[in-house]
Structure 1
Amino acid sequence: MRARHKPWADDYLKKHTEYVVLEPESLKGNWQSRFSQHQPIYLEIGAGKGQFITGMADQFPSINFVAIELVKSIIVSALDKVVESKPDNVQLINTDAKDLRSFFGEGEVDRIYLNFSDPWPKNKHEKRRLTYHTFLEQYKEVLKEGGDVILKTDNRHLFEYSLTSFSQFGMVLDEVTLDLHELEDPTNVMTEYEEKFSSRGQPIYRVQARFQ
């Protein structure tokens, strides 16, 4: 379902520049300056309504989190959650993540989360999948040595595609889970999509892949 247009979204984002980075290019190589403490930086690509990033920030205060979301009418919901919880370890970016190297310096990020990314099921759209090799190339550049990518999805085809893509790129698969909720992992923070799909009994797939 397409998000409803919210004409006030621009003003709302500009009102909360303590949490929203309006010009992320200006922070390349200097993201730690946006946080109260110098800590590892974890990046979520596709933050949605922010349930994951705010939950993670609360559970892991020793990590600094940056979340990117392209759709303005959706990221304002994430901002609502951040404004309410007032974490000092979350920053939001409203932009396209097609080239992270515009925003982050080499080795500036410690981990990348891809949560319920668009599977782009048609073969002609393969290059748009966030685990296509051109995306993996930029992830490797902005991640520190040994940094990893964690993918969660309900889409079996995207999951299998990503396993192959990671392996062909030479990444190490540290964890492959075919039914995440069977693990009863207490550290797992669910996204809005994850709650919806798992409530229907749909398995959630997760893979943690590390660059060598």
Structure 2
Amino acid sequence: MRLRHKPWAKDKLAAHPEWVLTQATEKKGLWKQVFGNDHPLHIEVGMGKGQFVMGMAKRYPEINFVGIEVQESVIVMGLEKLLEDPLPNVRLIHTNGEDLDSLFEENEVDQVYLNFSDPWPKKKHAKRRLTHENFLRRYERVLKADGQLQLKTDNRGLFEYSLVSFSHYGALLDEVSLDLHELNDPDNVQTEYEERFSQMGHPIYRARLHFKRED
């Protein structure tokens, strides 16, 4: 879906450093100081308009959440949500998933969420998929030993590719669901895309996994 360009987005993001961290690389290893507590740290890579990360933050106030989004015109909508309903356990970063190494220290993150990521269907774009091994390496580095990665998507092709990618990388699957909403999981917080696609009758796929660490 093509998004309308918002020429004012850049200035609005810059005007609210209390929510959108402009010098986020300086927070590497210091996220407990950012939030002022030692609560678990969860991150969403590709947060979109922020419905998921905000919903999770409301449901789990004892967890800190960082939403990461590369598109200015999208992340600014997440900022607007925070301005209307401030959540002390949320921060936003305007960047992409390739920057995780510069944002988080090793073993600093408890959970990573990938929700309805761009499937990049062409083979020549496979390295751009957020479940490509290059990204898995980053997630493994920042996740704690008992940390978990969760993927949700309506795209069957991306889901199948991701399962193969996880297996080849050596990750261990904790859950594979081919129709998440049939599970009636009371803990499932939906994204904007999830609501739309499920209403259209699309099955929602979910995988949960962790990385095997050497003893």
The two structures have a TM-score, normalised by structure 2, of 0.96
1:129-173 deviation digits (Å, cap 9, x = unpaired): 111111111111111112111000000111111111111111111
> Bigger shift: 1-10 or 19-28?
1-10
Which residue is 2:57 aligned to?
Answer: 57
What displacement does 1:190 show? Answer: 0.6
Stretches of structure 2 that go unaligned for 5 or more consecutive residues are: none
Which residue is 2:41 aligned to?
Answer: 41
Pairs within 5 Å for 1:49-128? 49-128=49-128
What displacement does 1:15 show? Answer: 2.0
Which residue is 1:26 aligned to?
Answer: 26
> Bigger shift: 62-71 or 163-172?
163-172
Which residue is 1:9 aligned to?
Answer: 9
Which residue is 1:195 aligned to?
Answer: 195
Letter in 1 for 2:170: G
Which residue is 1:132 aligned to?
Answer: 132
CA distance in 2, matches of 1:84, 1:38: 26
Letter in 2 for 1:205: Y
What displacement does 1:36 show? Answer: 3.4
Which residue is 1:174 aligned to?
Answer: 174
Contact 1:68 1:94 in 2 (8 A): yes
> Bigger shift: 48-57 or 30-39?
30-39
CA distance in 1, matches of 2:160, 2:108: 29
Contact 1:178 1:206 in 2 (8 A): yes
CA distance in 2, matches of 1:52, 1:177: 19
Structure 1 runs of 4+ off > 3 angstroms? none
CA distance in 1, matches of 2:183, 2:83: 32
CA distance in 1, matches of 2:13, 2:119: 28
Which residue is 1:144 aligned to?
Answer: 144
1:26-52 deviation digits (Å, cap 9, x = unpaired): 111111221132211000000111100
CA distance in 1, matches of 2:91, 2:133: 27
Paired residues in the alignment total 212
Stretches of structure 1 that go unaligned for 5 or more consecutive residues are: none
Secondary structure at the aligned position of 1:100 is classed as helix
Letter in 2 for 1:118: D
Letter in 2 for 1:97: G
CA RMSD, 1 decimal: 1.0
Secondary structure at the aligned position of 1:99 is classed as helix
What displacement does 1:2 show? Answer: 2.2
CA distance in 2, matches of 1:156, 1:147: 25
Secondary structure at the aligned position of 1:17 is classed as coil
